[in-house]
Structures are given as structure tokens and as C-alpha cells.
Amino acid sequence: MIIALGQIDIIWEDEEKNKEKVKKFTEKAKILVSDMIFFSEMSSTSFLMNVKKLASDDALE
């Protein structure tokens, strides 16, 4: 089993751009014949300090 480790420079409060970076790393790992890839815990969701942006609409009511 070949395991890859991925680390990206997280873009604060931009979940979509972070997901794009994770996707690119995952595609590269696949080309390099990796069976599994691990990222840090905040890689795909981003890091937010703005609680209102993070919370769902239901939670704010």
C-alpha cells in the first residue's frame, strides 16, 4: 500500500478554493499510484473566525 501525505496552504474562509487544492493534490497522488492520501483536519473545510459565516441559517435564528 502506498500512502501519500498532502499539505496545502489553506485559504481562510474560502472553502471552495481549498477543495480545489485538495482535488489537485488527490489527482496527483492518483497519478503517482498512491492508494490513500491524508490531509490535515482543516484542509477541505477552511478555517473560519467569522462564526456567522460558519453557522447554518437555522443556527442563527
Give average pLDDT by consecutive 10-residue segment, the chain, 61 residues.
Answer: 90 85 92 91 73 61 55
d(CA 6, CA 18): 12
pLDDT at 40: 86
What would the grid cell of residue 48 be? 473560519
pLDDT at 36: 93
pLDDT at 46: 67
Domain assignments of the chain as residue spans, ordered by start = 3-60
The Cβ-side half-sphere exposure at 12, using a 13 Å CA radius, reads: 4
Kindly report the number of other CB atoms within 10 A of residue 28's CB atom. 13
d(CA 31, CA 53): 36
What would the grid cell of residue 6 be? 498532502
pLDDT at 58: 57
